[in-house]
Amino acid sequence: MRESKDIFACCGLNCSECGAYIATQKNDDSKRMEVAKQWSEMYKTDIKPEDINCNGCRSEEQKFSYCNICEIRKCCTEKELENCAGCVMYTCDKLEDFFKTAPDARTALDKLLK
């Protein structure tokens, strides 16, 4: 069972378990370096440690740069929903595509739906 301090992104990812979120909350530069290297390799792009700053998907003050262009986050925000589990269209095509790479997000949203 999840702890009450867990926060979830619109898509169902657990922000509290995300390396960028953890590095930011702990102000841990070595964790930022670790996450930047891991994500650069995983996503075949160049992510710098200084890019690893995030207070969670729903944060307006500081979130990882991808969150600014995330279609799932944009949709959820426009509908003024805490996460996609609260949407009458749950699950939509955007989420179904995302769940192919992040099945844990579906599990979390399904639990939040109940």
Specify if 10 maps to a domain. Answer: no
**Residue 14 forms beta bridges with which residues?**
8
- 20: domain range? 15-113
For position 4, what pLDDT does the model report?
Answer: 53
Tally of domains within the chain: 1
Is residue 1 in a domain? no
3-class DSSP state for residue 103?
Answer: helix
69 falls within a domain: yes
Residue 6 lies in a domain: no
- Is 22 inside a domain boundary? yes
Domain assignment of residue 2, yes or no: no
Phi-psi region of 44 (alpha: psi -120 to 50; beta: other; left: phi over 0): left
H/E stretch holding 108 reads: helix 103-113
Residue 84 lies in a domain: yes
pLDDT at 65: 76
Secondary structure in 3-state letters for 30-78: HHHHHHHHHHHHHHCCCCCHHHCCCCCCCCCCCCCHHHHCCHHHHHHHH
Residue 32 in any domain: the answer is yes
Q: Report the chain's mean pLDDT, rounded to a whole number.
A: 90
**pTM for the structure as a whole:** 0.81
